[in-house]
Chains A and B, each alone.
Chain A
Amino acid sequence: MIQDVIIIGGGIVGCAIARELTRYHLSVLLVEKHCEAGFGTSKSNSGIIHAGHHASPQTLKGRLEWAGNPMWDALCRDLGFGFKRVGEITVAFNADEIGTLEHLKAQGDQKGVPGMEIWDRARLRQEEPNLNPDLVAALYVPTSGVINPYEACFALLENAHLNGLRLVMNQRVVGVRAVPDGVLEVKTLDNAFYSRFVINAAGLFSDEIAEMAGVRTFTLLPRKGEEYMLDKRLTGFVKRIVFPCPTPVSKGILIIPTYDGTLMVGPTALATPDKTDLSTSTAGCEEIFAAVKRLAPGLSERDVIAEFAGLRAVADTEDFVIGPTRLKGFINVAGIQSPGLTASPAIARMVAEILQAEGLALVPRDDFVPTLRRPVRFGKLSTEEQMRLSAEDPRYGHIVCRCEHVTEREVVDAIHYGARTLDGIKFRTRAGMGRCQGGFCTWRSMELIARETGLPVQVVTKRGGDSWIVTERPAEAEAEVELREAVPC
């Protein structure tokens, strides 16, 4: 079968494009190499919907940032992922830095970002009393928000799937070429797929995909960012995202009150040649805590519960690379670094327009379903609601994750919506994200995956591939290896 469009990559950009294209009478296929959506760069970023004033309107990323920002309210309303406009402040320690705040505000005014205010010391102290008392001013911008980016990926993809998207997971693309009759072939290790248009949304690897297609015009230079999650006791420590004054190369190291209340600090920004290097480092940790202690002396390494690193897909042009190529039908959506998450719904819109300009007819469907059922977050409900739900389904009374209060029913729902791995459950339900880091729920989640899918518990992995959790005793080991190879994650 020849598809209308194949999307390579199920990160936030691929998922947003997939959902956008399923609004039309089109056959769309998405190919993802991981076993879950968003498991590349998308799940390990800062989770910020940027306010709109950071990037210059002269750049594509600057324009798409501000175009994407307002689109998140409707997406969140329809799809029910975690998103909250908490606002942000950029803080200044001296008169020079106040100058930078004024420049940022002027840039925002030029783009039409509403509600910006410069706060003096007293106002800042009143609004955010836990910040360094030496701070002299802040630029407050109400339009920025915090988001659970992995939830946004899952929700966009699930909604696209509901609207007819074909999904191929666990398959890495190894070749892209033109075949006769204006058709493009996308090869994975096991299969070949055909379409008239191919969207290269392969994140960090989009330069390699472009190379396969013979039309590489850019190079990606991964830039690593480490982030550290802090214990929930610090929930409410800051109300808004806190930025230091930016430097020409970086927005700096931030204090982020994430959607679920956990404080996150980071990221670093370090060029790295290795696209698989997701390691955290002592130097990164020291850099982050030196920076955040300056912003808020009450923060320290003692409260770290988890850390991770992500790689930004930075193009050598330093801007997004979006558009058609010399290969007819092959469209790049590459170099999507910050503010890529914010921009992604606007990128999806732009890609639809490019496809139309390239000759694809976009006929809106009248049976498009824009909404998803809202996942229940049992721990966030009132006791009365909890009592009512648990009376209807006792699995709501049964705790799986003690730190985040995730119930059996929520985990079972996640499995039925596609989670097959511990990380799949973790990023859908928060089971395992709390301060004990899976000490209690690891086994319970493994057991539920096994029970709900009928697979033996030994084949459950952390995140697919060779990320096994347990093995059998040596005498039984041989049979187990065969079993694991037979069952995809």
Chain B
Amino acid sequence: MLTARLNHLEDNYDVVIVGSGPAGMAAALGARAAGANRILIVDREREAGGILNQCIHTGFGLHYFKEELTGPEYAQRFLEDIAAQDIDVLTDAFIADINADRRMVLMSGIHGVRVINAKAIVLAMGARERTRGAIRIPGARPAGVLTAGLAQKFVNLLGLLPGKRVVILGSGDIGLIMARRLTLEGVAVEGVYEILPHPNGLNRNLVQCLQDFDIPLHLSTTVVNIHGSERVRGVTVAPVDAALRPQLEKSWEVPCDTLMLSIGLIPENELTRKLGARLDPVTGGPVVDSTMQTTVPGVFACGNVVHIHDLVDFVSQEAELAGRCAGEYVNGRQRPADNVKLIPGENVAYCVPHTISTDREHTIYMRVKEPLEKSSIRFGEVYEKKVRYVSPPETVTVTMRPRFLERFHGEALRVDVRAQQ
């Protein structure tokens, strides 16, 4: 692993990138490719690479590198390029404050508290995990309730186990990956409980992480009580009705010493809020145009800060564009402004970017609300794409080409996902 500890910190940079995960790394390379000179990546962890460092399983890079890599291998490819491109990386450091003039307060155990300025900023802070409080699981408050990501850090980076007998709530991808990982470490995984009637993780993880290890998945079931005064000694689970209300009379107890939560990610937007950038209440991230610029000029965003991605490959792709556009911004090059707004319609939770331009090609990332077989994705009357199956955990990507929009003269394009006629 490549560790970057920067000895000299400037006061002024062309581009400062907040976060050295997959988004930040690709953004830095994009900014360099667009000709930005002084680039700084800041990361709060001790090593660059973000969450990839603890994702020691494979499955990364199938789209981006056309081969299957582990998380650290995927990060390493970018870090080598970053080193070769002479891009500064400051780890174990934290951006505590930021404003729309692109002035930042940086905290570092080596450099102390410093004020730095940038001509452009790329927000690439990623996401944080939803916790027990977010879903208000009733019961006692013993030790042993933790998120899947923290459990993954304990096991994969620190060589420690979060427990000996684990119940997993939520069928998000990290939870599924950890079900397998803990089983391989000799931990008893009692089961995965999902409140929704459909799983929340990628199909390949359901097969490779649960089915292959005989770990039961209980759909439409949730944890309704946590027991134990010092350490968890069990949980009560219950099926839920169609309105997701637990049916307590049908509940049962599962003895365990750990409750691991994989109940979703929240885009990490403390800094985005401080900047005063507009946020999309559906994605939880900033509203971005087709250059990944937020509503604050010169501030770009990419990766899980903008919306939760299911594959890192898409993060890299999106972040490279954000970095490239940040570099162009610094050098005074400007692409034609967007002229079409995308409106999420039937069975569409959101579309990113929020606006596009009719003069160039765009990759549009969408998430649906409900699973649907034989579906048709329609962009107003101008474009239709038929897809065999869509479901909420899997991002839908659509390439929007200028020729589709040749005869479109409106300002807003509604996007619907319906059953094929």
Enumerate chain A interface residues (CB-CB to B < 8 A).
228-229, 233, 276-282, 284-285, 301, 304-308, 379, 383, 386-387, 389-391, 394-399, 402-403, 405, 407-408, 435-440, 442-443, 457-458, 461-474
Contact = CB atoms under 8 A, between A and B. Distances in A.
A474 B230 CA distance: 21
Nearest to A474: B186
Contacts, number: 148
Given A399-B107, A439-B128, A307 B113 contact: no
Given A307-B133, A437-B133, A466-B231, A443 B113 contact: no
A58 to B, nearest CB: 38
B92 interface: yes
A434 to B, nearest CB: 10
Contact of B160 (A282, A398, A436, A472): A472
Given A397-B110, A398-B107, 4 more contacts: A301-B136, A305-B133, A386-B107, A389-B113
A399 B128 CA distance: 17
Interface of B: 44, 92, 94, 96-97, 105, 107-115, 128-129, 131-134, 136, 138-144, 146-147, 149-150, 153-154, 158-164, 185-186, 224-226, 229-231, 246, 270, 273
A280 B138 contact: yes
A414 B158 CA distance: 24
A439 B149 contact: yes
B54 to A, nearest CB: 11
25 contacts: A233-B273, A282-B136, A285-B136, A304-B133, A304-B136, A379-B96, A386-B107, A386-B113, A397-B109, A397-B111, A398-B108, A436-B128, A438-B150, A439-B131, A442-B146, A443-B150, A443-B158, A461-B143, A462-B143, A462-B230, A465-B230, A467-B142, A468-B143, A469-B143, A470-B161
A467 B231 contact: yes
A401 to B, nearest CB: 10
Given A278-B140, A383-B115, A437-B133, A470 B107 contact: no
B115 A390 contact: no
A439 B147 contact: yes
Contacts of A284: 138
B232 to A, nearest CB: 10
Contact of A394 (B105, B110, B140, B153): B110
A284 B137 CA distance: 12
Contacts of A282: 136, 138, 224, 246
A379 B105 CA distance: 12
Contacts of A474: 164, 185-186
Closest 7 CB pairs of A and B: A398-B109, A390-B112, A462-B143, A467-B143, A470-B160, A466-B230, A306-B133
Contact of A398 (B92, B134, B140): B92
B134 A305 contact: yes
Q: Is the interface of A mostly helix, strand, loop or mixed?
A: mixed
A280 B164 CA distance: 25
Contacts of A391: 112
B138 A281 contact: yes
A471 B161 contact: yes
Contacts of A276: 229
Q: Max chain B CB contacts within 10 Å: which of A280, A407, A474?
A: A280
B160 A458 contact: yes
B174 to A, nearest CB: 12
Contact of A304 (B96, B129, B134): B134
Contacts of A458: 160
> Would you call the interface of chain B mostly helix, strand, loop, or mixed?
mixed
Nearest to B224: A282
B109 A395 contact: yes
Contacts of A436: 128-129, 131
Contacts of B143: 461-463, 467-469
A141 B230 CA distance: 40
Nearest to B129: A439
A439 B158 CA distance: 15
B159 A387 contact: no
B164 A471 contact: yes
Contacts of B146: 442
A397 B158 CA distance: 24
Contacts of A285: 136, 138
A399 B140 CA distance: 30
A442 B161 contact: no
B139 A280 contact: yes
B133 A387 contact: no
Contact of A308 (B141, B150, B159, B162): B141
A484 to B, nearest CB: 11
A395 to B, nearest CB: 7
B97 A383 contact: yes
Contacts of B105: 383, 386
Contacts of A394: 109-110, 112
A439 B114 CA distance: 26
A420 B251 CA distance: 38
Nearest to B108: A397
Most B CB contacts (10 A, CB to CB) among A389, A397, A407, A467 go to: A397
B141 A278 contact: yes
Given A436-B131, A466-B231, A279 B150 contact: no
A443 B224 CA distance: 28
Contacts of A440: 44, 128
A383 B146 CA distance: 34
A96 B135 CA distance: 37
Contact of A408 (B109, B133, B186): B109
A387 B113 contact: yes
Contact of B159 (A233, A398, A408, A473): A473
Nearest to B94: A399
A265 B229 CA distance: 23
A373 to B, nearest CB: 22
A222 to B, nearest CB: 14
A279 B138 contact: yes
